[in-house]
Structure 1
């Protein structure tokens, strides 16, 4: 007897499996907030050069007190965008010497500003008249707290000449994610899904709590890279257990339900970040609740498939009997012995990641799946991490990008059995590609349309991601999964 045959008898998605899936979906929601919170940690507030006291003293001496806006208009260069919009430079200030030489005063209370004049305490917004040289901020930058109270960008000054550090940090995070994906599979196959999950979630909670104490960019990058490495087993091991606990006919529903929970966590994060705008408090309050998942020690079972494949039949029998009891199913006498005999051959075979490449046919499948994962990850996180770059309200855009995944899951569920996995994946890839390309080429004055196509692209990549998760779980046997 095969384990799938036993699941039909036990109930492919009975009461026991539904209870476990609620626990698994709670993990998925929490992981979404952990992974995607980087969007708000690394958001770039509006900023400009801090105006040195020498500039202020010069103006006060030659004219009198000026307002903050007047001071910035006179000392910070203005930049004109392609659409004609003027805004203050974020990274430059007028050189003090050329500024004092070219600022034209007209006696009591009037000096030239662009094509207008300062008179009766009314400064026209624009460039100061004269050929003014510009320099990098000599005394650092001032960051607006209107949208974000504090981010790593404002705390560690990661803009202008230092903005490459921010992009480098994000690249390093993905190295951690790759390492986590590799180690998660090896360790969970060796030691079991359940212990790896319990250890990983405790470590993740601890790392996230320590994250807020980061004194500099290096420490922050090291801790957050570890977080992205550890979140992989925290998400994947429960997902795998869930897929291995339900029958074939219910795996699609179970898999997509878990992905939907992730998307709900995506949206919840947007609302939460709206009210908690300091990245340190956001990190602390997101990660502290993860310690509650340590209680899963008392409620979360090991995968029966994994136990059977490693010859731990007695433990498997205990769990199977518990499933039967909760699902109110009586097992025929001797049925488990038949199951154990079927699985006994797997005990003597040691499997490694090399087995995924042992034959050319399996190697082609593995390489294809790896390529799909790479493409999906790049596009998915490319859209998510660039939420602020879309323009508009970052919190609203972030929530819409999360919600966009839900209709993709419904559409995928409706089409999977009708046209097959590959065609559904191809459809979603096409939607994602068209949406992302159009969003990227539209001019800045069509911001709303660019956001719309970005959401369409997110629908596509969200659907394709869910499909490739399902294909990966279905195509490999338990010992390779």
Structure 2
């Protein structure tokens, strides 16, 4: 009897595996929120320079017409890409004798020289971290940089989650990552400064790595022919996250309350502590046979195969663990596996092809999804914004 036939006869993909597929489907929803919250948290509304602070303090209670007059004499008018006249986003006129500039006759105290402005007026106040922490003009490079530090954190998290799940188990890492995702988002909503905001963004990237343990849990509970379906469920949960993010973004226009509202949905995942079991494959690989047998018995009971003979249950354990029951399994570490792959030209070639394909698809995916990241294309925002900062700092001055 082949292994796959034994899986079918023992009803391996029964109620338990179907329930697990649903749980994994729901568990990947937060990953989308973590990846694409930038569309809301660093949303850039229309803005322009405001009246300088010294002049504004001297004219606290002014009429709307007087305020418009102060804007006209302190903020230059420029032509945008649509050939429309708009107030300057980054520069104020240099002024002398600000105390005298209290009526229209004071325009003589304004000269044509300009200097970077320190205050801005946004079309919508307090809608994003960008408007609160002023990621504009000379600090505009910080907008794309927020996604960069998130990606760096995710890179480190991805490198760590594999060895960690091999060390402590798929279930433990899976549940801890789900909890940390919500804690990180809640902490991000209480950011009080740009450095704190950037630091927590790195943390959100580190914990946004629930996929590896989730997919490992699913595939190690099912037969080979059902592993594609398990992976599909995890990916569809990510897609559902787009709808959840859009729904919450519609009702919560303030970025802080958007993150807090989503953090409260963590209560829905509390039952996972009792519904998710450890992988029998992993338990067998570390010599915890009794726990593996107990979980397999639970699976057989929920799949209504609790009357199967004991030797069939042992065969099921053998198939799920991938080894004989009494055979000692040696787990290879990450670098040992990498060393074996590098020694095999065919595997190395396939690994390079998979990496390149993943790079291309991910790059295209994020470009399409984040094209409105800062009101321009993602690449334009990322590279032009960063290069502008480098030019202002004197870096890459020859290229600028």
> What TM-score, normalized by structure 1, do the two folds share?
0.67
Q: Which residue of 2 is the match for residue 136 of structure 1? A: 116
Decide whether aligned partners of structure 1 residues 9 and 58 sit closer, same or farther in structure 2, where only a CA change above 3 A counts. same
Where relative contact order (Cα < 8 A, 6+ residues apart) is larger, the structure is: 2
Q: Among residues 362, 365, 379, which one is paired with 2:347 in the alignment?
A: 362
Instruction: Give matches, 1:49-448, under 5 Å.
Output: 49-52=49-52, 66-97=65-96, 132-137=112-117, 139-145=118-124, 149-232=126-209, 234-329=210-305, 330-338=307-315, 339-340=317-318, 342=324, 344-345=326-327, 347-358=329-340, 359=343, 360-389=345-374
Provide the rounded CA distance (Å) in 1 between the counterparts of 2:366 and 2:72: 38
Provide the rounded CA distance (Å) in 2 between the counterparts of 1:311 and 1:199: 23
Decide whether aligned partners of structure 1 residues 192 and 237 sit closer, same or farther in structure 2, where only a CA change above 3 A counts. same
Give 1:293 shift.
Answer: 2.5
Q: Which residue of 2 is the match for residue 406 of structure 1? A: none
Equivalences, count:
368
SS at match of 1:386: coil
Provide the aligned C-alpha RMSD in A: 3.6
User: Are the aligned partners of 2:95 and 2:111 in contact in 1 as well (CA < 8 Å)?
Assistant: no
Give 1:3 shift.
Answer: 6.4
SS at match of 1:132: strand
Give 1:243 shift.
Answer: 2.6
CA distances 1:142-188 after superposition (whole Å, capped 9, x unpaired): 2232xx63311111111100112332332121111011111111111
CA distances 1:33-85 after superposition (whole Å, capped 9, x unpaired): 2332122111122222220266679999xxx9725445434432222234423
Provide the rounded CA distance (Å) in 2 between the counterparts of 1:218 and 1:87: 32
User: Are the aligned partners of 1:94 and 1:134 in contact in 2 as well (CA < 8 Å)?
Assistant: yes
User: Are the aligned partners of 2:50 and 2:71 in contact in 1 as well (CA < 8 Å)?
Assistant: no
Looking at secondary structure, tell me which structure has more helix per residue.
1
Which residues of structure 1 form unaligned runs of 5+? 113-127, 392-435, 441-481
Provide the rounded CA distance (Å) in 2 between the counterparts of 1:43 and 1:322: 48
